[in-house]
Amino acid sequence: MDKACIAVFSFAFLFLIHYILLGGKKNNGGDKAVQLPPSPPAIPFLGHLHLVANKPLHATLRRLAGRYGPVFSLRLGARNTVVVSSAAGARECFTEHDVTFANRPQFPSQLLLSFGGTSLIFSNYGPHWRSLRRVAAVQLLSAHRVACMSGVIAAEISAMTRRLCRAAAADGGAARVQLKRRLFELSLSVLMETIANTKGTRPVADADTDMSMEAQEFQKVEGELITYIGAANMWDFLPVMRWFDVFGVRNKILAAVSRRGAFLRRLIDAERRRLGEGGGQGDKKSMIAVLLTLQKTEPDLYTDTMITALCSNLFGAGTETTSTTTEWAMSLLLNHPTVIKKAQAEIDAFVGNSRLVAADDVPRLSYLQCIISETLRLYPPVPLLLPHESSTDCKVGGYNVPSETMLLVNAYAIHRDPAAWKDPAVFRPERFEDGKGDGMLVVPFGMGRRRCPGETLALHMVGIVLATLLQCFDWERVDGVEVDMTEGPGITMPKAVPLEAVCSPRAAMCDVLEKL
């Protein structure tokens, strides 16, 4: 009997056990004293897993919210889940009940890839998490630390700009480029230098256009791991799938984790050797060097595992989210060329054409900030945020939420709520001009104490990269065809079709670009 048959018979056996044990019990929803959130019809044993199998998940849950309300419940296998799709519900969860929902659900897949659930992103709320959060906020991602990274960011952006110029020159003045690839390479290059004080290695002679070996390696590993992160991974909710593991999910996760660990250990060991030789001093000290220095005074806290886990979080969150957000922004702009012209006019007026836009310029570019805000509204980096879990019983939207219930907050649905936003699906940066968006809930980086600590760095990166691309190049759609805005599946909502566009150096910037 092959594995598939074993899995089917095991599934049928568990279904029977479930029916015998729970079939005669009353649903809590029938008790009027316990008012649970409304729920779609469920299938025995599976619950609502058949619904979350539809991708992308955030869009499926938005449609369900339209039918069952802004607070509704699901049962994913044996795990109770509440989905919140309104600004009022999100505020209630992350203000009044912020501590209650500060835990993370401990999915089997995440335990494998998050060092046993001890990493900053996936650890439960408590002393260990507070220590990690303090290290990240104070030592690694503070405003001062991000400001110290400006030189590295500027150098890497100049290198990308130079490569784009050379590609355009090689193609007769206008180059067709896949921006996703270049933006990921840029994000990883910045993090490689700031986290580990090293640069990527380009393996070919045509070094202006090819991704570094490290970028290719890390992108492949992260792509594999992202598949198993989130609330729609069936492997986490059906024990039978883990027991027999017909599809080899466990081995695939462990193999990718092993390659990621080897990648990070090489960086950490190299920086440890460098510190031993007296390198890495002052504000230019790499993030790994900062952690290794702290390890000398508090070895029980700053273990090698803790340092590896923090670096994993920094690389994982810092590459995919910033590159994807910038890709969505450029996709929106290409479908709205008048917005490009308006943004370029603002940059020309405030910065001019005699130098590249600098990080200090970006906060003064108000229309550019509106473009970024509108992009994050329409395409938040993590559309469902990361799952939370209740540690005690509480009430949300007037409904009872038992302890150990997974919470999914649908930022995508909140940002596109027609009751809050006029023409919510339309790209309109002007809706944020002159403070008109003040008071509206936009939560691309989460809320409350589990809010993303890398928000400052992400906004800094997206702002300066987008400003540079608009200042230095004119952009056109490939063959004049409108950019496909289909959303792909995944925790970070990638584009289903990677963005390709045609860029040509702007005539007004030729003198500056020739000196790069």
| H/E run at residue 178 | strand 175-178
Exposure class string for 75-93: b at 16+ Cβ within 10 A, else e = bbbebbbbbbbbbebbebb
CA–CA separation, 395 and 71 (whole Å)? 11
Could you give the C-alpha distances from 482 to 174, 256, 335, 477, 485, in angstroms and in order?
18, 36, 6, 7, 9
How many other C-beta atoms lie within 10 A of the C-beta of residue 261?
Answer: 15
User: Is-cis flag, bond preceding 424, omega within 30?
Assistant: no
**Residue 342 amino acid letter:** K
**Cα 101 off chain centre by:** 20
Residue among 139, 79, 30 nearest 404 (CA): 79
Asked if residue 176 lies in contact with residue 479, where contact means CB atoms within 8 angstroms, the answer is no
CA–CA separation, 209 and 200 (whole Å)? 13
Q: Is 370 annotated as a binding residue?
A: no
Residue among 430, 504, 435, 436 nearest 472 (CA): 504
Strands (E), 414-482: 473-477
Strands (E), 10-119: 71-76, 79-84
Asked if residue 317 lies in contact with residue 307, where contact means CB atoms within 8 angstroms, the answer is no
Structure tokens at 427: 């790209």
CA–CA separation, 11 and 217 (whole Å)? 37
Strands (E), 379-458: 388-389, 394-396, 399-401, 406-409
| DSSP 8-state secondary structure symbol assigned to residue 449 | G
CA–CA separation, 149 and 457 (whole Å)? 9
CA–CA separation, 498 and 179 (whole Å)? 8
With the C-alpha atoms ordered 489, 494, 495, 500, is the resulting torsion angle positive or negative?
Answer: negative
CA–CA separation, 242 and 191 (whole Å)? 35
Strand order in the sheet with 406-409: 71-76, 79-84, 406-409, 388-389
Asked if residue 480 lies in contact with residue 143, where contact means CB atoms within 8 angstroms, the answer is no
250 phi and psi, to 5 degrees?
A: -60, -45
How many other C-beta atoms lie within 10 A of the C-beta of residue 194?
Answer: 24
| H/E run at residue 351 | none
Q: Which residues are annotated as a binding site for heme?
A: 452
Residue positions forming the annotated binding site: 452
